[in-house]
Structure formats: structure tokens, C-alpha cells
Amino acid sequence: MAELTSNPVGKNTPRVDAYEKVTGTAIFTDDLQFGPGLYYGRLVRSPHAHALIKSIDISKALEVPGVKAVVTGQDFDTRIGLYLVDRPVFAKDRVRYVGDPVAGVVATSEDIAEEAAQLVEVEYEELPAVFDPVEAAQPDAPLLHPDLGEYKVANFIFPEPGTNISEHFRLRKGDVEVAWPRCAAIVEDTFRLPHIQHVPLEPHVAVALWEPSGQVTLWTSSQSPFAQRDLIAQSMGIPHGNLRVISPYVGGGFGGKAGVSMEVYAVAMARAVKGHPVKLRMTREEEFIGTTVRQALVAHTKIGCDAEGNLLAMETEYYFSGGAYNDYGVNIVRAAGYSCTGPYYIPNVKGDSYCVYTNLPIGSAMRGFGMPEIHWGIEQIMDQLAEKIGMDPAEFRRRNCVKTGDIILTGMKMPAIDLVACIDKVTKAVNWDERRGKARPRPSAPHKKRGKGIAIMWKAPAMPPNPGSSALVRFNEDATVNVEIGAQELGQGAFTVVAQIAAEALGVPYEWVRVSAPVDTKYSPYEWQTVASRITWSTGNAVKAAAEDARRQILALVAEHWDEDPANLDIKDGIVISYKSEREQPLKDMVIYGLPNENFEGWKGGPIVGHGKFMPTYVTNLDFETGQGPRAVVHYTVGAQAVDLEVDTETGQVEVLKIASAYDVGKAINPDLVLAQIEGGAVHGMSSAFEALKFDERGRPLNPNLVDYRIATAADAPRQIHGDIVETPLEDGPWGARGVGEHVMVQTAPAIANAIYNAIGVRFNDLPLSAEKIFMALQ
């Protein structure tokens, strides 16, 4: 590390994010928030996919006026990671993908930092690179992490040192070799999915301040403030109590702002210029390569059924391209392994799910967490099996889908769900019976073909066995309520649902409830992460417990004051009422000041504060060899989608006319928000069928921008999006609720592929479903 000393305010003009005129003076947004001593950071990134770092010369960068410090991997002899601690703060001995950070420059403006970053000279020795996960899993593949056996790893993740395999999950149930001869129909094929990006509207931004006292504050757009505090504190040697993470509303996450990506670099650079906050902002191009992406997948899958359409056996191998570092990706692969059958009861299963290091950007959490990837192949095979035995695809799914009480692939008993009801709702919504023969609806033009497809899904919250949530409920003098949580608002409506849960459990109007923001690890109650579609369920349970705790205190106080049994009291619209004496006591003032004794001879009570927590205690380990165990996950959410579309045979262009979706959410705390998730998820899932992050033969990204990387826009959205809600209460959800935020896009791509086959009779095993690919197949 090298540092230059100077006055806090450099001579260079700070970058202007926004300003307003106040008495003729420009007010800089950054200055208002962080003061004139704010510095800016830029990263020096590797141009090579795989290379040894021979030397780094930072001298020319330090000579640039306005540069305050340059940090490299030599300054940090540590790694960081969630489930597998495999990522250096800055690359030290080798780089493993194009874009791997090797240094960070701190300067008085972003432009100066960028200029100086170009002057950092790095000498590399290129190494053979590997980009395909199947090739990377072979014994003779270039080894990306020779020290894999020395990395700290969670006790449920199983890397294979001496290889590029960072996780291998095995699933064995029954005997597939005995089952195959009994099958009347077997489909076996290979399916491929590319890397795709989250493309949040708001890019990753972090500001870090390392004070001379040792106190560190990180402001960042994050789904995981507490996890970031934990991981960065461990990696950087900071006492947890000295590291504070503040995270306001998140402008789009989709999993890309979970765990730690670029935030640690801001903290590392701030350590070099103590007393000055350092702002690090990803450009749109850096979002594509310098944060995280959804893992690519190669799936070899074989499934068979008998003549009556009963599934008998499945054998699958999943090779996930985890990218250069797999600290989060290993758990995605584990989730794919213990859910490898999709939402089907199959008595004989052999599954192997591999997370494989490749010389590509870091694969990590994305909406669906491995489930969109595995459903892509499974749901197309189910259609093919149904066709082979002459059964309707929807009926085939009704027959074989998981049902309440089934002993599923891991040996776990399936919690209460109704997937058949979801199938019934979506088939009705698209007039499913009209998909063949004379009943088939006419296309809009002679050169177009119309088709309908269906796909179903399941997904469990993929997380450690003990992720906790906590909440506080406290009152103001006028009886309005503050709910304090550590869960994050991503636009999914978490704060709205939390406010509803608190209001219902307390017995006060919803309008009285405020949810405290921003999330601040110094003051907010603990929350593991806002991921896994778990907030309504887990945080909801904690908030409900906190509200019920406050309610008990209130009823006990009033019962003592009235000399009545608390069982005879209730709270309605913010007023304590007695069903026995018919007395009333407003909550106003009493929830802070308490209630007076007779003749005001003293007081009883005091400020009411409710405490609540929730953590599942029943999830068990799974056997290393078989993946069997009593309780693999907390629960599953299930759902179905049906798609009606047209294919232009002259161009290959696909127009999705209608997507119908239905999900079993246990209990819809807010039906409007559930339907909003269904609508947004349908478009997101549709977009994922046409997206692909592309790389050249040297691992360099070809389309890291919103010109060449197309996502679905309002112009591409289906003409109709139909949503239905099924409610089969979950045993431990608040009023039976379970999450649905990710599930709504899991099966969209295979539903589209099945509809395309119904329209033109051609199958596609590889995403994306580009117009060019479809047109060429038609020829």
C-alpha cells in the first residue's frame, strides 16, 4: 500500500452527481452526504482470463496529481467468502477472469482515479484458461485454485481438492438401473443455459469510511447488510462492533446485491486514506463483469415413465459454471442437487450436481437460485415423455407432480401444497384444450404459427439450517407504531407486508405503522439476508412475535388496571376493550406513560417494546453419499405457468401473447403484491429466455452493455399477464404464508420452449431462444 498525504480537499473539482442552486451556490450531492473530504475509487482489472501476476508497478499512478493511494493484493493477506472462503480481496498471485481486480486507486475525483488506474503497470504470465464447466471438471483441466483444500468451507459444502470442483452434491434414491427396463418411454438429452446478468437499474455503489479510531462505516445498496458486516469484518480483521453497514432502499437486486461483491474493495481503499470516505461506483460495463452473474449450466438428464404415464426413474448430471470464485455459487449447486427432480415424485433417482471453477465472471445468486436452470431441461423432457405415451402434457403433470405428504427425493415429507390446483388454474386461463386440432386459435397472419405450452416448478428457500430473523415493535406517544427490522426493501413490498403483519397482530390500523429505514447494522435488529424468498415467512414470523409480545404487555397492564382477566380483553383499532365489563382504554399515551394507580398514587407500566425472533430449528444435515435426511429444507413453494405465443416463420421472432401463472403462497398477506410479483416475474422469466452474456475465445465479454445485451422492455411484455393465487396454509408461516418472490420466473423459459414446439414442431435445448436460432431451425 502506498499513500500520499495532502489536505482533505484536493485541487481537482469533485465529480458532480447532481446539484441545485441555493443562493447561487452549487450544492454537490456527494458533498452534502459525505462532506468535501470525499475521495473516489476505481479498480484496475485484469485483461486476461487466467494468468500469474509477476509484478505490479504503481509508481506512475501515484505521481498523478490528486491521487491519494493505490492498494494491491500485497496489502491484504486474506480471503473473503460466504460458504467457501475462496476470493482474495485483490488478486495477489494470479488472476482468474477478465476483470479480476488487481489494484484500487483512490483520488480526489473519479476521473483522476480512472486516469491513474490506466497507469498501473502489471506484468502477467498467461496460463491456459478453461470456460466450459464440463471441460473444467476433467482431471487434466487447468487448475484454477491449487489451494482449494486449504479454504475454509461450510460443513454442508463438499469441494474436491486437486480439481476445479468446488461442490459436489450427490442424490441417491432407489435403484435407477433396476427401473430403466420397466420404462415404456425414456427421454435423454443435454441442455445448456448461458450466463445472464441481473441488470439492476441502480448499479452497485458503495462508500466506505475508515476512521482513525478504527470505526468503519460502509454505505451500500445491499440485500445483505449483516452478512456483509460479518464477512468483511472477518476478512479485514475488524471487530464486528466497529463495522457499521448502512443500506437504504435498493434500486433493484434480484440476488446480485446479496453477499459481498464489490463492497469489500471500498473498505480496503478506505483503510489506505483513514478519515476520508471513499466512493466506489460500478459502471454499466462493470456491472456485467465486475459484480456477479447467473451461473451457466450444462445438464445431462435422462427420465423415464411407464405406459400409464407414471414417472419411474431419473438420472442427471448438472455442471454449473461457477466462474472464478464460488463462495456463494456452491450453495446454488447444492440447492439444484437436493431439488434435482423438479416438482415431481420419482421413486428412483441418481443425481450429481457439480459447481465448477471456470475462467469467467463470478457466478452467484440470481432470482430463482438454480431452479430456472434445472427446470429448463426437466420441463421439456416431461412434455416429450407425455408425447411418447400419448398423454396430454398438463394431465401428465397432474399425475406426477408432488403432493402433500409425498416422501420426496431427499426422504423428506412434502409439506402441505396444492400444485394440481395451480395447473388447473393456468390451463383454464389459456383455454388449454384449444391447443390442438380444429380448436387451435388462428394466428394473426398466414406466416405465423401459434402454440401453447405449460411448465410447473418448485423452489425451497436455499440457506443454512439456522438463518435468523429478529424484530422490535415500539410505540410513539400517539400510539403510532415503529417496526424495526433488518430485512431490506428491494421493491418487492417487504415493508408493506411487515406493516400489515404488525398491525394485524397488534390490533391497530395499518396506517399507524411505520417501518424504520434505512437498514443500519448498528441499530436495526439482526436479519441473515434478504434472499431466498424468505422475508414474508421468516421476518414475518419475527414481526408477528414482536407484535404479540407488545400486545401481551398491553393486555397484562390494562387487566391489572381494571382487575380483569387478560383473556377477556382484546385490542381493536388501537383501543383495548373488555368483552366482560365493556370498558375501553385507548392506546394513546398509555403505551409510553403507563396507567395511573387509584387517585394517582403512583403509576404502572411504562414504554411498551415488543421483541420477536424466528429461526427454523428443524432442518437436518443430508447424507454425503446419498443426499438423504429427515428435513432437507424448511418448505417448498410450487406453481404453474402456461404460455400462448406466436412464431413468425419468416423471421423467427417470437411474440408472447399471454402468460398465465398460479402459485400456492400458503396465505396471501397482500394479494395485490403477490399479483404484482407474478406480473413482474412473468416478464423477467420471459426475458431470461432471450438473454445471454457472450464471451470470445479468450474469455472477454462481447456484450457488456445495454445496447448489445437486450432485456425485455415494456414493448416486449405479453399482451396479457394472468395471475392466480392458491392458498394451502404452511404449518409455520405467519397465518400460513410462504414466499413467492423468486418462484414467479422459474419455469417461464421452458413454458415458452414448449409453446414454440407446439407451434412449429421444433425443440431447442440451448438458451437463448434467439430469432436467428429459431429461423435457422425452421430452414
Cα-Cα-Cα-Cα torsion 187, 189, 195, 198, nearest 10 degrees, comes to -10
Separation of alpha carbons 43 and 35, rounded Å: 23
Vertex 767: Cα angle to 765 and 769 (nearest 5): 100
Phi, psi dihedrals of residue 46, rounded to the nearest 5°: -70, 135
Max CA pair span of the chain: 94
Separation of alpha carbons 158 and 162, rounded Å: 13
* In contact, 285 and 704? CB cutoff 8 Å: yes
* Sequence-separated (6 or more) residues with CB below 8 Å from residue 277: 34, 35, 37, 38, 39, 207, 208, 209, 270
DSSP summary character for residue 161: T
DSSP summary character for residue 420: H
Identify the H or E element spanning 458. Answer: strand 448-459
* In contact, 735 and 669? CB cutoff 8 Å: yes
Nearest to 365 by CA among 227, 469, 494, 259: 259
Identify the H or E element spanning 481. Answer: strand 481-485
Separation of alpha carbons 683 and 688, rounded Å: 9
Single-letter code of the amino acid located at 497: V
Separation of alpha carbons 534 and 523, rounded Å: 22
Q: Which residue out of 286, 527, 742, 772 is catalytically annotated?
A: 742
Count Cα atoms within 13 angstroms, Cβ side, for 748: 30
Distances (CA, A) of 653 to 448, 460, 485, 721, 775: 10, 34, 46, 20, 8
Count Cα atoms within 13 angstroms, Cβ side, for 752: 34
Separation of alpha carbons 160 and 149, rounded Å: 8
Per-residue burial over 204-219, b if 16 or more Cβ lie within 10 Å, else e, is bbbbbbbeeeeebbbb
Nearest to 294 by CA among 343, 258, 240: 258
Residue 373 is among the residues annotated as catalytic for this protein: no
Q: Residue 768, preceding bond cis, omega within 30 degrees? A: yes
Q: Which residues are catalytic?
A: 742
